[in-house]
């Protein structure tokens, strides 16, 4: 996965997590056009930014542990996100 694909995947992943509409990990990976293992790598990268992501088997969706406001890391139009204050 190249950098642009990674950025696009993170942007879509973030939007779906905010909507609590990701579906199962398999479905989400398919929506993003990546493997399940790459999906979990992206999730770990977001977790590394203190954006703790949890999966609910009951709701079949990923969600943020704390619904904090986040801002773009770069103001260049790149949709990579981090917690405010980072």
* Residue 6: per-residue pLDDT: 75
Give the pair of three-digit tokens for residue 18: 């905010």
- State yes or no: pLDDT of 84 exceeds 80: no
Q: Using a cut of 0.95, tell me whether the model's pTM lies above it.
A: no
Query: Hey, what domains does the chain have and what are their CATH numbers?
Result: 3-83 (1.10.10)
d(CA 57, CA 60): 5
Q: Is the dihedral of CA 11, 17, 18, 21 positive or negative?
A: positive
The three-state secondary structure class of 12 is: helix
User: What value does the mean pLDDT take over residues 14-28?
Assistant: 93
35-83 pLDDT per residue, tens = 999 999 999 988 888 889 999 999 999 999 987 666 554 444 544 555 5
Taking phi first (over 0 means left), then psi (-120 to 50 degrees means alpha), and beta for anything else, what does residue 33 get?
left
Give the pair of three-digit tokens for residue 22: 């990701």
């Amino acid at each position: 996965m190249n950098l642009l694909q990674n950025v696009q995947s993170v942007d879509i992943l973030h939007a779906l997590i905010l909507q609590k509409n990701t579906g199962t990990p398999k479905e989400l990976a398919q929506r993003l056009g990546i493997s399940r293992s790459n999906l979990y790598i992206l999730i770990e990268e977001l977790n590394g930014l203190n954006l703790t992501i949890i999966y609910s088997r009951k709701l079949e969706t990923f969600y943020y542990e704390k619904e904090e406001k986040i801002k773009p890391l770069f103001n260049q139009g790149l949709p990579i996100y981090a917690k405010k204050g980072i």
